[in-house]
Every structure is written in structure tokens, then in C-alpha cells.
A and B are shown apart, each in its own frame.
Chain A
Amino acid sequence: GENVEQHPSTLSVQEGDSAVIKCTYSDSASNYFPWYKQELGKRPQLIIDIRSNVGEKKDQRIAVTLNKTAKHFSLHITETQPEDSAVYFCAARSTDKLIFGTGTRLQVFP
């Protein structure tokens, strides 16, 4: 089955800097890759997603890139702000199931 690895597990950046989180997946048939943000004590919420027919997608300060050949995808957050502090999960969809990475705890220091 699908296996998703996510790095790093923790990431600390200064406000205004960029943050990059990377994920790899194992199932070449996976075709949908969402990213979820989970604030402390809250539910995971979708922030951006990408499908396998697209290499890059951007939404304001957030962008996701996908390399199907290498089977990895990344989340890029530019001009980070303290409210970006949260746990971020990547996921890959394989046979209608989302398989989640282990999460990255991002801390943005003012």
C-alpha cells in the first residue's frame, strides 16, 4: 500500500522567512496530494492541494510543487507570519484513501 514520509518533523523560522516541507510517496498510482493545517486543539483543515496532472500550484503565500518522477511533493510558505504556526500534514490519495504523513510542527517566531 501507499506510504508517505514527511520531513522535517519540526521547523522553526523567523517571521518573514520562507518555510519548506517535503513529502515522498511510494505508490506511483497516487493522483491527489492535499496539505492540511492543524492548529493546536483544532481539526485538520485543507490549505492547498495538487493533482497529478499539474506540477505546481500557488495560492497567495502558499505553493505546492509535485515531481511525479521522483514521487515527491513540497509545501512552500513565503513571508511566514506567527499565525502560520501549526502542524502541517501532507497526504497522498491511493485507491480512494488518503494516507497522511507524520506531520511537521512549524513555529514562526516574531
Chain B
Amino acid sequence: DAGVIQSPRHEVTEMGQEVTLRCKPISGHNSLFWYRQTMMRGLELLIYFNNNVPIDDSGMPEDRFSAKMPNASFSTLKIQPSEPRDSAVYFCASSLGSTYEQFFGPGTRLTVL
């Protein structure tokens, strides 16, 4: 099993640009989580899905952030427009169900200039 796959691994963009982060969960897992990690705020849950349905998006910082899960093997996190304060490492994690162990992907390091 390849584990959770995220792309890109690094993204550098300019303020105002649209950024799309991608995640492929472990096959058979039906829960998917998006986290953001910064030095100041630590590891924050942004949104999670069960069976492709968004369950809790209370962690999404503002309307510039949106997430989708069109099928069981793919999810995207989009930031439009991006701002320098969005610079962080974004992790995707998946689990068999929301009450099981979460496996993290390698993360996407986003830098917004």
C-alpha cells in the first residue's frame, strides 16, 4: 500500500493566486481529514469527510478555503485567493472510519509570497 498520497509536495505561489492541493487516501479508507500545521497554531483540523460527505468544516478559516471529495479516492483543498498568512504545511489523513487510527500523508508545504 502506498499510503496517503499528496501533491504537490511543495508549492510556491504569489498572493492572490489560486492554489489547489490534492490528496489520495489509502484504498478502503472512508474518512478523510485535512489539517494545517504552523509554528504558531500547531496542527489544526480544517475539515473532514465520511464516505465523501463533508461532516465538519468548522475549522476552515474563511470563505477563501474550500474542499471537495468527488469520489472515495480523491480530495482537493482549494485556496482562492491565497494570502501570505496561508503559508503552512497542509496534511491530508485518512482512516477506516472516523473512530479509527488516522494515517497522515507526507504533506504539502505551501509558501505564499
Cβ-based interface call for A102 (8 A): yes
Chain A, 69-110, CB within 8 A of any chain B CB:
89, 93, 95-103
Partner of A46, one of B33, B102, B106: B102
A-B contact count (CB 8 A): 43
Contacting A96 at CB < 8 Å: which of B91, B99, B103? B99
Q: Interface-forming stretch among B14-22, B42-50, B62-70, B75-83?
A: B42-50
Interface residues of A in 27-51 (CB under 8 A from B): 32, 34, 36, 42-46, 49
Residue in contact with B45 in the complex, picked from A32, A36, A49, A98, CB distance below 8 Å: A98
- Residues of B in contact with A, size category: 10 to 19
Residue contact A43 to B101, C-beta cutoff 8 Å: no
Number of interface residues, chain A, beta carbon within 8 A: 20
A103-B99 contact given A43-B106, A44-B91, A45-B104, CB 8 Å threshold:
no
Q: Which residues of B contact A101 (CB under 8 A)?
A: 42
Besides A34-B101, A89-B43, A96-B50, 4 more A-B contacts (Cβ < 8 Å) are A43-B105, A43-B106, A97-B48, A100-B43
Write the residues of chain A forming the contact surface with B, with a CB cutoff of 8 angstroms.
32, 34, 36, 42-46, 49, 89, 93, 95-103
